[in-house]
Amino acid sequence: MRTQVGIVGAGPAGLLLSHLLARAGIESVVLEARSRSYVEQRVRAGVLEHPTVELLREVGLAERLDREGLPHEGISLRFDGGDHRIDFADLVGRGITVYGQQEVVKDLIAARLADGGDLRFEVSDVTLDGIADAPVIGFTDAEGQRQELHCDVIAGCDGFHGISRGAFAHEVIDRQYPFAWLGILAKAAPTHHELVYANHDNGFALYSMRSPEVTRLYLQVPPDTDVNDWSDARTWDELGTRLAAEGFTLNEGPVLEKGVTGMRSFVAEPMRHGRLFLAGDAAHIVPPTGAKGMNLAIADVRVLAEALTGFLQRGDETGIDAYSDTCLRRVWRAEHFSWWMTSMLHKMPDADAFTRRLQLSQLRYTVSSRAAATSLAENYTGLPHGAVA
């Protein structure tokens, strides 16, 4: 088999890359380890930055997003018994949209298939060879047949636990956090129209949503937490305590899903070796506090699609040579923002009085200074694509 771009992974990065390339007249094949229904059901991110939404509109992927996505013009920071709104619309003139990652994935798969796109699910034993100049992807297809896919370039979009990153030597720059998030998805109507980030003496809590019927909630827990230790009753009780504020009530309802996610910052540099390009979680991850992971994956593949178009259609290597540096600028801005939000909002185990006072001072400054609030709003709603200093 032959194609121009062999894409490993059908998450937001791989699928959107395939879509953008097809619009430019470039062929690709997407190889995914899981089944279609698995990737369409996987509950993950929920916040789309303004530039992400604009891009999805520009490339014809926003019909359902514009109908079902929930536009938000701010968030609340809750601490020290008070609730403080950061008004994005007023501060930076744009907002975010709440729309589940799995909905983005469903829309992308439908668009690729309607367009005759080649997506192979349930492949296994993927190998990458010839990445210096003549790439070949080996894989076993869903029927158990061993296959070889020859391509001009490979896009490693296989997420944090994929195999692409391991195909070349790179530097890893990372940080582990001494806590995790317990997340639940509940069939309960949201009682508040925006996200709430709470810094409480018991630990961080986040109030989010997916639709007018479904609430998404998170609690800071120790990293080794067993999800079975958190009954629904205990989870609701703790959420009620940490999110409490005057006039705020939490609607409870059946818990549809519950899971524990570790927190880590991680960057692999560079993001390219020869004809292999990493994009999205395959190259970098952020703690979820800044809601940046999926947005970064999307920003990467926008740069990559343009660079590959120049290379494959005109033999112009400028874009592919700049790819890693261009992406890493935005990646490091998002790494900093996510680390900053994480440090400001979580209870640091073993924090001394000095650390705690600094945290409270940072929170008070962020909600009372227009300059500080604007910085949060600018980063949260997303810096324009391609313009990160």
Does 208 sit near ligand PHB (CB under 6 A)?
A: yes
Question: Which of 69, 74, 117, 183: binder of ligand RFL (CB under 6 A)?
Answer: 183
Question: Which of 261, 343, 362, 374: binder of ligand RFL (CB under 6 A)?
Answer: 261
Residues contacting residue 305 through CB under 8 Å, at least 6 positions apart: 17, 20, 21, 24
Q: Name the helix (H) or strand (E) containing 21.
A: helix 12-23
CA distance 380 to 376: 6
Q: Which bin fits 150, alpha (ψ -120 to 50), beta or left (φ > 0)?
A: beta
The smaller minimum CB distance to ligand RFL, of residues 74 and 288, is found at 288
CA distance 172 to 134: 26
Residue 335 contact among ligand PHB, ligand RFL, none, beta carbon within 5 to 8 Å by kind:
none
The smaller minimum CB distance to ligand RFL, of residues 123 and 154, is found at 123
Q: How far is the CB of 143 from ligand PHB (least distance, A)?
A: 36
Q: What is the DSSP string of 194-207?
A: SEEEEEETTEEEEE
The smaller minimum CB distance to ligand RFL, of residues 258 and 364, is found at 258
Q: How far is the CB of 183 from ligand RFL (least distance, A)?
A: 5
Q: Binding segment for ligand PHB among 107-115, 258-266, 287-295, 369-377 (CB under 6 A)? A: 287-295
Does 46 sit near ligand PHB (CB under 6 A)?
A: yes
The smaller minimum CB distance to ligand RFL, of residues 81 and 306, is found at 306
Coil vs helix vs strand at 9: coil
The smaller minimum CB distance to ligand RFL, of residues 319 and 382, is found at 382
The smaller minimum CB distance to ligand PHB, of residues 14 and 46, is found at 46
**To the nearest 10°, the Cα dihedral for 346, 49, 326, 320?**
130
Q: What are the distances in angstroms from CA 15 to CA 40, 127, 158, 267?
A: 12, 20, 11, 22
Does 216 sit near ligand PHB (CB under 6 A)?
A: yes
Of 381, 349, 386, 317, residue with least CA distance to 71:
381
CA distance 152 to 172: 27
Strand partners, 96: 72
Question: Which of 26, 294, 312, 334: binder of ligand RFL (CB under 6 A)?
Answer: 294
Residue 96 contact among ligand RFL, ligand PHB, none, beta carbon within 5 to 8 Å by kind:
none
Q: How far is the CB of 127 from ligand RFL (least distance, A)?
A: 9
Give phi and psi for 352, each to the nearest 5.
Answer: -85, 180
Q: Binding segment for ligand RFL among 55-63, 151-159, 265-273, 333-341 (CB under 6 A)? A: 151-159
CA distance 220 to 192: 20
Question: Which of 16, 22, 26, 47: binder of ligand PHB (CB under 6 A)?
Answer: 47
Does 44 sit near ligand RFL (CB under 6 A)?
A: yes
Of 151, 90, 96, 158, residue with least CA distance to 123:
158
Please, what is the angle between helix 293-314 and helix 12-23, to 10°? 30
Active site residues: 72, 197, 288, 292, 380
Give phi and psi for 32, each to the nearest 5.
Answer: -125, 135
Question: Which of 5, 20, 26, 47: binder of ligand RFL (CB under 6 A)?
Answer: 47
**What binding mask, one character per residue, do residues 305-344 give for ligand RFL by CB under 6 A, x or -?**
----------------------------------------
Does 289 sit near ligand PHB (CB under 6 A)?
A: yes
Quick one: how many helices (H) and strands (E) in the chain? 11, 19
Positions touching ligand RFL (CB under 6 A) are 8-14, 31-34, 39, 44-47, 101, 123, 126, 157-159, 161-163, 183, 261, 280-281, 288, 291-295, 297
Binding residues for ligand PHB, rule: CB under 6 A, are 45-47, 195, 206, 208, 216, 288-289, 291
